[in-house]
Amino acid sequence: MNGIITKAIGGLYTVEASDGIFECKARGIFRKKKISPMCGDKVVITEDKDGCVIEEILPRSSELIRPPLANLDLLVFVSSTVEPRPNTLLLDKFIAIAEFKKIKPVVVFTKVDKQPSDKLAEIYRSVGIDVFECDNVTGEGSAEVKEFIQGKLSAFTGNTGVGKSSLLNNMYPELDIATGEISKKLGRGRHTTRHVQLYKLDVGGYIADTPGFSSFDTNRYDIIFKDQLADCFIEFREYTCNCRFPNCSHTKEKGCAVIEAVKNGDIPQSRFESYVQMYEEARALKEWEYKND
């Protein structure tokens, strides 16, 4: 049977297949090949008198190591327009990670009833990122987000207080998430959930309950080295090939096509500033320390 892993705890895997939900173990061959089954993995399982076994892990379209999650379609970053104020550097870091891992980034601005998100929304729309604006009090805008993620495997991330729980409650009242405290359906408690779990949506698709996404040490998700960073900024791509220098850092060089595009208003200034700061952080990394991580 074919199925999808919806929970992975201590070597036991919950697999949802067309014929039901099965608790499975994985073949020892995966351990020998240093492959670990993950939530989101599409797998082939067999069932006999001794129970269910994962026989095969089908090719992954995307993969995160921390938190362990495969085949994620969307990474939805929730940011409030006020209280707390939006952190564009953090937002740009997550978008870069999504691009690096070949996961589609999505931005949702909440609390637009208190502070419009017009200027911020325009920045990200201008570079080709899908942006939604939601009023969590009235629920306006949540239906559009719900329709967008239908049929997809999505993970939601956002800092404390941005209204992520309220947004999810407006979209899926059956989740019954107590704002800022605990998700009764998903079993999420403050600093208690240690495993990834998928919650199946009635309209099709899954939301990943990811404890790692409540922490903003972005190096937990992946390391982007300085030479890889420019490719993770969508709007840079049409300019990087026109630089005067083959190894241009796109931070301060004269004649850099990216810098010229910033001056001409073709690349948003805030995005460029995020890139420069991230490049400096990446430049300080000792790459050899991460090669075998």
What pLDDT digit, counting tens, does each position of 34-69 carry? 888 999 999 999 988 878 999 999 999 998 877 788
Query: Residue 70: how many CA atoms within 13 Å on its side-chain side?
Result: 19
Which residue among 11, 32, 58 closes a domain?
Answer: 58
Residue 130, beta-bridge partner list? 106
Q: Are residues 29 and 138 in the same domain?
A: no
pLDDT at 182: 33
Q: CA torsion, points 164, 167, 168, 171, in degrees to nearest 10?
A: -170
Annotate 128-174 with three-state secondary structure.
Answer: CCEEEECCCCCCCCHHHHHHHHCCCEEEEECCCCCCHHHHHHHHCHH
Q: Are residues 233 and 192 in the same domain?
A: no
User: The pTM is what?
Assistant: 0.83
Q: Are residues 112 and 198 in the same domain?
A: yes
The tally of domains found in the chain comes to 3
Q: Are residues 86 and 38 in the same domain?
A: no
Tokens representing 80 are: 């409030």
CATH number of the domain that 35 lies in?
2.40.50.140
Query: Does position 24 have pLDDT exceeding 80, yes or no?
Result: yes
Q: Are residues 68 and 159 in the same domain?
A: yes
Query: Does position 112 have pLDDT exceeding 90, yes or no?
Result: no
* pLDDT digit string, tens, across residues 161-217: 777 778 888 888 876 654 444 344 444 434 434 567 888 888 789 998 665 454 444
The residue segments making up the domain with residue 42 are 2-58
CATH number of the domain that 85 lies in?
3.40.50.300
